[in-house]
């Protein structure tokens, strides 16, 4: 399923194009939310969008990426299109991310760190499966990429501001659009829910 960003959401987003700009913004977003820097090891990013008011973020890359987190002993796959709602210490309503649990792939719906901090990162899958891992297992190996000039490379489309009641209505529409995207992705993973529940029951 293609991730379609509604025009009203895109209009209020910061949109970065190109891998360099996308990598910089992704690392910055993880840093600002207090999540480990290597949590989103995407490659060849085409577009990165972020709506500050709602925390909605989307990332598009050329093709899906399979990554092995050695410190956690887990394989994770990131689809060509990934989205989430970012909050302090949390990514929720995630789409496009799956983790391998035993012999099956389960769709992750939320990733968060404990509050107050305990050094643990919790991954929650659709169907109720939940696992905790050391935060350091998801830290990036190297420093964040540096822009080649004063502005992050790629095109940046500034947010459009609105005021009063109009602004409130736009925020409601954005939240509705985000929920619709989330529901569509859930429908695609109904079959995985049954499998995930079976794994959870065994554990």
Number of domains in the chain: 1
Residue 132 lies in a domain: yes
Residue 2 lies in a domain: no
φ, ψ of residue 51 to 5 degrees: the values are -105, 105
Residue 1 lies in a domain: no
Residue 89 lies in a domain: yes
Model pTM above 0.85: no
Residue 94 lies in a domain: yes
Burial of 123 (0-12, 13-18, 19+ CB in 10 A): buried
Write out the residue range of the structural domain in which residue 54 sits.
7-202
φ, ψ of residue 128 to 5 degrees: the values are 100, -10
CB atoms within 10 A of CB 93: 19
User: What are 131-182's pLDDT values in tens digits?
Assistant: 999 999 999 987 766 766 544 444 454 444 444 556 667 667 777 777 777 7
Distance CA 147, CA 155 (A): 13
Residue 149 lies in a domain: yes
User: What are 65-87's pLDDT values in tens digits?
Assistant: 999 999 999 999 999 999 999 99
Q: How far is CA 178 from the centre of its chain?
A: 13
């Amino acid at each position: 399923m293609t991730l379609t960003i509604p025009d009203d959401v895109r209009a209020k987003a910061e949109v970065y194009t190109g891998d360099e700009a996308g990598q910089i913004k992704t690392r910055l977003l993880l840093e600002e939310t207090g999540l480990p820097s290597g949590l989103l090891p995407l490659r060849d990013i085409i577009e990165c969008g972020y709506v500050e008011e709602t925390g909605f973020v989307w990332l598009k890359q050329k093709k899906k990426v399979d990554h092995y987190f050695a410190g956690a002993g887990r394989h994770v796959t990131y689809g060509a299109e990934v989205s989430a709602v970012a909050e302090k210490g949390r990514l929720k309503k995630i789409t496009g991310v799956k983790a391998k649990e035993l012999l099956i792939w389960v769709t992750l719906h939320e990733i968060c760190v404990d509050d107050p901090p305990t050094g643990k990162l919790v991954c929650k899958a659709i169907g109720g499966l939940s696992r905790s891992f050391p935060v350091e297992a998801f830290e990036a190996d190297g420093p964040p990429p540096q822009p080649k000039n004063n502005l992050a490379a790629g095109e940046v489309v500034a947010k459009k501001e609105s005021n009063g009641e109009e602004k409130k209505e736009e925020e409601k529409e954005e939240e509705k659009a985000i929920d619709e995207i989330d529901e569509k992705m859930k429908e695609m993973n109904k079959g995985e829910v049954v499998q995930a529940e079976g794994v959870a029951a065994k554990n």
